[in-house]
Amino acid sequence: MVVEQVHATRPESSIVAARTKNRFEAVTNLKNEGIGIDAIARQLGLARETVRRFYCASSVDELLGAPRAGRPTLLDEFAEYLQERFNNGHTSTAALYEELRTRGYRGSYGTVREYLRPLCTIGAAPARRQFPKVRRITSWMLRHRR
């Protein structure tokens, strides 16, 4: 007997795409009627920020595109080490993944593989500048001088 397990917290991408298209059409129709973002949010029962994204998008493909840049990942704190090791000739994804695991990396092998894939074609990792996190900059601005 085969039992299929359905994950309610992780809907299929086709379901998400269909829901996004329906929401985009609804927001666009109301926008064309001259209704504002707050009123659309109340009418559709969506968050104001969600409606704003749909309201400002020129097409549904813009909403279904690539993930937003700048999102933190589990690999961020290990990226510099990974680039250094790769540039020193250690190009085995499996070996680098195991090294990262010993250093505390909790992410997947696939994430490391996808990070290293473009580096294998280029040959060397481009240097990434480490910028302070927004939270850190905000604390600098809001902290009282002593």
pLDDT above 70 (res 133): yes
**Structure-model confidence comparison of residues 58 and 122, the more confident one:** 58
For 65-74, write each residue's pLDDT tens digit: 655 556 678 8
Task: Give the whole-angstrom CA distance, residue 36 versus residue 51.
Answer: 10
pLDDT > 70: percent of the chain: 79
pLDDT at residue number 44: 93
pLDDT above 90 (res 4): no
Q: Mean pLDDT, the chain, as a whole number?
A: 80
Section 27-33 average pLDDT: 94
**What is the CB-side half-sphere exposure of residue 103 using CA atoms within 13 A?**
16
Window from 3-7, 57-61, 74-78 with minimum mean pLDDT: 3-7
Task: Give the whole-angstrom CA distance, residue 44 versus residue 24.
Answer: 11
| Assigned token pair, 23 | 């929401």
Task: Give the whole-angstrom CA distance, residue 113 versus residue 93.
Answer: 6
Task: Give the whole-angstrom CA distance, residue 51 versus residue 61.
Answer: 16
For 18-29, write each residue's pLDDT tens digit: 888 899 999 999
- Give the DSSP letter string of 7-76: -TTS--HHHHHHHHHHHHHHHHHHHHTT--HHHHHHHHT--HHHHHHHHH-SSHHHHHSSPPTT---TTG
